[in-house]
Structure 1
Amino acid sequence: MKAKLGMSPIAWWNDDLVELSDDVSLEECLRQSRSAGFTGMEKGRRFPDDPEVMLPILKAADVTLCGGWFSGTLVDEDLSANKRRIQPMIDLFKAVNAPCIVYGEVGRSIQGDRSKPLATKAVLSDDEMKVYARKVTEFGEWCAGQGMPLSYHHHMAAVVQFEHELDAFMNHSGEGIPLLLDAGHLAFAGGDVLRAIDNHHKRISHVHVKDIRRGVIDGLDRKRQSFLDAVALGAFTVPGDGSLDFAAIVQRFADHGYEGWFVVEAEQDPKKNPPLKMAQVGHKELMRVMNAAGYTVETQGFPNV
């Protein structure tokens, strides 16, 4: 089985908490990640949107674009509005040969609002979830028809946060919307990561290997503190530095024959947790558990576009 290891630039620059950003260029971010052994990087705010500009940067760093976040609003807005907003991203991702676009629902989400405690997140009724899941499926089918598949990201403080919400979403949606399984977000929400892999492995197309610091999460006052408060306190980290058993998690993916990207997405204070050091820690741990699970980790960086 083959696996690819990527990172998210959120370890270097946080889009929601500017104070948790390192003063490094895109080129330096890519250089550090690649030097740690990662061959992919998801898109961040310092990436150019012109493929003619992006491709030489990726080539020079020997890194491939392995995904990127799209802020979807399908829980509130119609398909046409989201199609218009995602079309330039589809065109860009196709031009640089990216594997997928990560769909993150921001409609009714409080993930970017530090004034909203975790306990106040929006909850969809059963009927609302059915309508929403079918709508996202239709959108996923349309994007795939345009040549760029989506991968749905369940997320803390969003409408699909808890494991039972993920189960409902998956039950009412279809194969037209694959799943991004994020170990850290599911564990933060109190879910069972191994059970979720067992239940939804047929639809998982992308994986975020985000770790958590259990002590930070267990110490949160969810009626008072927000998702961004949790991030600032250090709720997330890289595999090998946190509380999750990634040997068991990666083995479960291997048991179900998953092949593809495992992306380290670990937003935290770069001054307390230098991104290069964290990248090295995460890569070392992932290589350990990947080898144990029987994966061959690909070493090619820049793709043949």
Structure 2
Amino acid sequence: MFDKKNVFLGIAPIAWTNDDMPDLGKENSFEQCISEAALAGFSGTEVGNKYPHDAGVLKGYMEERNLRIASAWFSSFLTTQPYEETEKAFIRHRDFLYDLGAKVIVVSEQGHSVQGQMDTPIFDGKYVMNDAEWKILTTGLEKLGRLAAEKNMKLVYHHHMGTVVQTTQEIDRLMENTDPSAVSLLYDTGHLVFSGEDALAVLKKYAGRIKHVHLKDVRPAVVARVKAEKLSFLQAVRLGAFTVPGDGAIDFQPVFDILSQNHYEGWLLVEAEQDPAIANPFVYAKKAREYIRSMINM
């Protein structure tokens, strides 16, 4: 199905320690995270908040476990701060990932984001940009994308719950108003389903621009509660809205089929932020690995 020379299976460290809520998984060390990721059968991870900030040191830890760094999250504030501030931070981030051998840079606009606000309803509290803000965002992302290209890297934009690019309509507008050579798309199954979008339709439409994939499953009963009780994104995570592939409601076979048919190359990253005291990260990592192995030749 996939060419193993060009497609790699990884897992995000957020299952072990949550970046937005550090109390979730505070007991889990960086070394435990990467060791268990390797034992579960994954080839790499993204970068978590407990990872060493020195590229050489981090690379050493990863190589000992035959792991690689796939990418790392970057928060842009193009709509709320001067462009120069985001650019300066982006270049530092780009160079760090370049030294680690990563090929893509995950970017999500955090200007006006409510994803990190504990008491803001994730649906009712979401910000909607005006035309001027859209122009600032798309122009800024293209500039960042060209900076990534200087290192032969790609900017992959992460649509995300609670941010200014969450819905299919917003993804469409972002894609239509950015240069494909500068801005690619990160495809996240969980965020699309949580938002109520047609995840397969988005995948089919933008398969050619998708350069990074997050495999996240969803528990519909929790999502329904979040909507009914007007809860926040962080509250949704604590309640277990997300889980690993094979443990929720999403059928991933069509996802893999469409990606394969469109000759996808890059990382497939299992990502499921939940409370590790309730959902043991190693147990769930193995569950995801076995589920994926049953579907694709990896």
Q: What TM-score bracket applies, with the shorter chain setting the length? A: over 0.9
Are the equivalent residues in 2 in contact too, given 1:237–1:267 (CA < 8 A)?
yes
Indicate the residue corresponding to 1:34 in structure 2.
38
Indicate the residue corresponding to 1:133 in structure 2.
138
Amino acid at match of 1:268: Q
Q: 1:79 aligns with which of 72, 77, 83?
A: 83
In structure 1, runs of 5+ residues without a counterpart are 292-296, 298-305
Amino acid at match of 2:155: L
Indicate the residue corresponding to 1:275 in structure 2.
281
Are the equivalent residues in 1 in contact too, given 2:91–2:147 (CA < 8 A)?
no
Please, what is the CA RMSD of the aligned residues? Answer: 1.4
Tell me whether 1:110 sits opposite 2:114 in the alignment. Answer: yes
Secondary structure in 2 aligned to 1:262?
A: strand
Indicate the residue corresponding to 1:242 in structure 2.
248
Are the equivalent residues in 1 in contact too, given 2:52–2:58 (CA < 8 A)?
yes
Are the equivalent residues in 2 in contact too, given 1:130–1:169 (CA < 8 A)?
no
In structure 2, runs of 5+ residues without a counterpart are none
Indicate the residue corresponding to 1:46 in structure 2.
50
Tell me whether 1:178 sits opposite 2:178 in the alignment. Answer: no
Indicate the residue corresponding to 1:302 in structure 2.
none
Indicate the residue corresponding to 1:94 in structure 2.
98
Map 1:164-175 → 2, pairs under 5 A:
164-175=169-180
Q: Deviations over 1:2-22 (max 9, x none)?
A: 221111100000011223215
Measured in 1, the distance between the counterparts of 2:191 and 2:34 equals 25
What percentage of residue pairs aligned between the two structures are identical? 36
Indicate the residue corresponding to 2:237 in structure 1.
231
In the superposition, the TM-score normalised over structure 1's length comes to 0.92
Measured in 1, the distance between the counterparts of 2:173 and 2:16 equals 34
Are the equivalent residues in 2 in contact too, given 1:7–1:40 (CA < 8 A)?
yes
Secondary structure in 2 aligned to 1:5?
A: strand
Are the equivalent residues in 1 in contact too, given 2:106–2:186 (CA < 8 A)?
yes
Are the equivalent residues in 2 in contact too, given 1:7–1:263 (CA < 8 A)?
yes
Amino acid at match of 1:139: L
Secondary structure in 1 aligned to 2:36?
A: helix
Amino acid at match of 2:174: F
Measured in 1, the distance between the counterparts of 2:262 and 2:199 equals 14
In the superposition, the TM-score normalised over structure 2's length comes to 0.94
Measured in 1, the distance between the counterparts of 2:215 and 2:143 equals 27
1:199 deviates by: 0.9
Secondary structure in 2 aligned to 1:104?
A: strand
Indicate the residue corresponding to 2:127 in structure 1.
122
Q: Deviations over 1:46-75 (max 9, x none)?
A: 111112211211111211001110111112
Are the equivalent residues in 2 in contact too, given 1:220–1:230 (CA < 8 A)?
yes
Indicate the residue corresponding to 1:294 in structure 2.
none
Q: Deviations over 1:28-51 (max 9, x none)?
A: 111101111101110011111112
